[in-house]
């Protein structure tokens, strides 16, 4: 409803337009969250909890499950594959 309002559309009109393009709001939201999570995880000053909170998750475990669903790996594994380690500020 909020996104539709910003676009000056009714929720049903937004859903209809997305469907016409072969898209749906949930998939777009999940993709945007995944990209944002990956960007935030590159910041060695942020803990996993801080990344989760910035994405709107109240529990780190919920963020970890979502990230694993999106990427197939846990956020800690994803970070280690990139060579990102927490700085002293992020510990």
Q: What pLDDT, on a 0 to 100 scale, did the predictor assign at position 85?
A: 78
Q: Is 8 exposed, middle or buried (0-12, 13-18, 19+ CB in 10 A)?
A: exposed
Report d(CA 76, CA 91) in Å as an integer.
Answer: 14
Q: What is the arithmetic mean of pLDDT over 65-80?
A: 95
Express each pLDDT in 73-88 by its tens digit: 999 999 999 887 776 5
CB proximity list for 77: less than 8 A, separation 6 or greater: none
pLDDT at 88 (0 to 100): 55
Closest CA to 46 of 77, 81, 79: 79
Angle between helices 75-82 and 60-71 (to 10 degrees): 60
- 3-52 pLDDT, tens digit per residue, is 999 999 999 999 999 999 999 999 999 999 999 999 999 998 999 999 99
CA 48 distance to own-chain centroid: 12
Quote the pLDDT of residue 84: 79
Using the predicted structure, report yes or no on whether residue 91 has a pLDDT greater than 60: no
């Amino acid at each position: 409803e909020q996104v539709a309002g910003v676009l000056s559309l009714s929720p049903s009109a937004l859903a209809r337009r997305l469907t016409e393009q072969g898209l749906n709001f949930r998939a777009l939201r999940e993709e945007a969250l995944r990209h944002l999570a990956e960007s935030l995880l590159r910041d060695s000053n942020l803990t996993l909890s801080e990344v989760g909170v910035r994405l709107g998750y109240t529990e780190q475990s919920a963020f970890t499950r979502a990230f694993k669903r999106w990427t197939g790996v846990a956020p800690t594994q994803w970070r280690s594959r990139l060579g990102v380690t927490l700085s002293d500020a992020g510990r």
